[in-house]
Amino acid sequence: MNKTVLQIPINQDLKTSAEQEALSQGFSSLQELVRVFLSKIATGKIEVTLQESTMLSEKNEKRYLDMTKDFELGKNTYSSDSAGNLINKLHENSVS
């Protein structure tokens, strides 16, 4: 087997945290985790998607928590037995 060394400069805290997590997930080392990951990428067995998290402002976080409570309590909600009735209700509440 032809081997090479991959060096990646990273922050010591990141390395320590990643090592601990790798061990907790059953890997023998951080290096083993990286080897498995690279092998899966190279053979097309996994694909990586990066997506940024959406962070709400404190005001909007409270707003959505309040809305969730309302939904759970059936407050400020409307149910309908047909699409037509729902459309009519939406038209009643629309602003002209």
Q: How crowded is residue 49: how many other Cβ atoms within 10 Å of its Cβ? A: 4
**Mean per-residue pLDDT over the chain, rounded:** 92
pLDDT in tens, 6-17: 999 999 999 999
Assign residue 74 a region (left: φ > 0; alpha: ψ between -120 and 50; beta: otherwise).
Answer: left
- Is the predicted pLDDT of residue 95 greater than 80, yes or no? no
pLDDT in tens, 50-75: 888 888 999 999 999 999 999 999 89
